[in-house]
Structure formats: C-alpha cells, structure tokens
Homo-oligomer: A and B are copies of this chain.
C-alpha cells in the first residue's frame, strides 16, 4: 500500500524558496516535474548503481520540457566525491556545449546530490538544479538545504558552496531498492532529529523502527516528512550556518573523523554519524548537559536499526587532529554539537579530557 499524497514541505528562503515533494510514484508522475524551467538542455547526473534502474524513467519525464536530456553516471561511492569526478560533470556539459540555462538533475544519494549541486553552483558561475534523492539519507537530509561540496584528502566537504535547488522530489518508492545497509545509514540521520529537535519523533522512532526496517510506506512517509519539516525550519532560519544550523551536525564531528581516518567509503556516512552521535551524547552527559539515560536510549535505538555504535580505537591525538579541520572549529578550537536537554542542541568547545573519556567509552 502506498502512502497518500501530501502537500509539499516548503523551504522558506526569500527568492530562493522551494518545495520538497514527498510521495509514492513521483518519478513517473508528470505533475512532480511541472513548473521547472523549460530550458533547451538538461543533464541527469547519477551513479553506475542508480542510473540503470531509474535514469531513463526520469529522462522520459524531462523530455516533455527540455530539448535534449543528457545523462552522466559517476562511479558509486564516497571515495569518488572529489575534484577529479566533479570535473567529469563539467567535461560532459562543455563537451555538449550546454549553456547557462541548462538544468542539472541529481538522481542518487548524498554523494551524487552534493557533487551535482556543487557542479551546478560552479558551471558558468551557476545553473539551476533539482534534487531527486534515491536514498533515505538523501531524502531526509543531504538533498535539502543547499549544502553542496566535494571532499579533500584532508577533510570531508571542505570545498563547496551553499547553493539551493529549485525543487526536491522525494519518491518513496525508490527506497524499495535500497540495500539494507543504506536504509540503516539513512535511519541514522532520521534518528538524529529526535535528540536535537523533537523528543516526540524519538519516541515515535522507538515504536516504529521495525516498521521502518520493513519499509512500511506510511512509516517511511512520516519519517521523511517529519525530518524534512525539521530541517526546513532550521535552514529557513540559518541558511549559511551562522549559528543554529550547526545543530544538524550532531554526531558529525566525530563521524567525519571516522570517515576521514578510515578512508572515505570504508564506513557509510550514516554509519559514522550513528557512532558519532553516541560519543557526542556521552560527551553531553559528561558535561552535565543531558540526562545519563540519553546514551543507552540512543545507543539501543541505533543498534536496533543495525548501525555501528563502537568507534575505531585510535589515540586521542589522532581524533583531535582529524577533527581540527572540522568546519565548526574556530581559531584552533574544535566545537561540538551537544544535547542540552532532550530536543535541544548547542555548539560549544569541550575539555580534551572529557572528549577523550567520551571516545574511550565507545571505542574498541
């Protein structure tokens, strides 16, 4: 049974405002693609896993409004989210003499979305783009809010732009083909919204985690919608991460360190974030901000979702060095997103001894 049609979630950013469409069957529904610019050219950027399954179906829809619909499939994986592969998008666009009205469509997960968005931000100094997220993680987090980037060997997402899409189209049906590991990684970002913003969502997740893992369409629809609503509210208040928006990075400072330290692609982003959230929750408790019950509660939910909760056993120096380049760091001081009472997050520095203790409590 598919989820009923719902009104879009609106991201309110003045002239850069846009809608997130959430529903079943949107990929093949002409109304989901209406109202986008009818430019001469469009380029669908996808990856070698997703493209064979969905790219032609999207192209069929887009041919109604574009004279030419090009397709490009990048290799699949976080380890390819770099300059070299970003340049393939430019090679493709310039090789086909695409002009600056060309619309890019990001059909894939977070890597495809981040790279396509950044390519759109830079190509001829900016062309429009649309997010068509095919993973749960991308639907609930990375496709929304206009953060685009590629990785650098010294840090994740270090080179990028704030650049908003024209629209985000979340077709819940696409989640049916998602490997279980990818589904779990997406659930990590859904779970994230509970501690930082919505205790009711956390409780709902505890009672619906099995239905989500079974891909119950109505449960998925609620999880995607509520996640997008929370993200829309935060991004609408702080598009360029002047302050509030940093709370969406709960678990990410430790998570990015795990990803960079193990080499991009070894753990999925959501897996690293899951583990990072446990450490960040532990640190919040140690600093007297959160109730001790938060750690086992979060850890248990993540375990039920099939996510890792034990970090690599590295010396503290290695952790600190990996986190030093985090974008939230300022004047050499690493800043952490911490839970300040359930449903509220703050950004602040922390004593190294407490950071070390929090890591040790959750690594092996």
| Closest residue on chain B to residue A241 by CB atoms | B125
Interface residues of A (CB under 8 A from B): 40, 67, 83, 87, 90-91, 94-95, 97, 99-101, 121-126, 147-149, 152, 154-155, 157-162, 240-241, 324-325, 327, 329-332
Bound together, the chains give a CA A331 to CA B38 distance in angstroms of: 11
Known: A94-B152, A95-B154. A122 touches B159 (CB 8 A): yes
Q: How far is the CB of A273 from chain B (nearest CB, A)?
A: 19
Q: Which residue from B40, B94, B124, B160 sits with its C-beta under 8 Å from A122? A: B160
Bound together, the chains give a CA A90 to CA B82 distance in angstroms of: 13
Q: How far is the CB of A294 from chain B (nearest CB, A)?
A: 29
| Closest residue on chain B to residue A87 by CB atoms | B83
Residues of B near A240 (CB, < 8 A) are 125-126
**What are 11 A-B contacts defined by CB distance under 8 Å?**
A83-B87, A90-B152, A94-B154, A99-B327, A99-B330, A100-B327, A101-B330, A122-B122, A125-B160, A126-B240, A161-B161
Bound together, the chains give a CA A155 to CA B98 distance in angstroms of: 12
Residues of B near A147 (CB, < 8 A) are 125
Q: Which residue from B90, B99, B158 sits with its C-beta under 8 Å from A94? A: B158
Bound together, the chains give a CA A119 to CA B240 distance in angstroms of: 17
Bound together, the chains give a CA A91 to CA B161 distance in angstroms of: 18
Q: Which residue from B122, B149, B154, B331 sits with its C-beta under 8 Å from A125? A: B149
Residues of B near A90 (CB, < 8 A) are 152, 158-159
- Cβ–Cβ contact A125 & B161, under 8 A: yes
- Cβ–Cβ contact A162 & B331, under 8 A: no
Q: How far is the CB of A38 from chain B (nearest CB, A)?
A: 11
Known: A83-B87, A325-B94. A159 touches B101 (CB 8 A): no
Bound together, the chains give a CA A121 to CA B123 distance in angstroms of: 14
Q: How far is the CB of A95 from chain B (nearest CB, A)?
A: 7
Residues of B near A126 (CB, < 8 A) are 161-162, 240
- Cβ–Cβ contact A99 & B329, under 8 A: yes
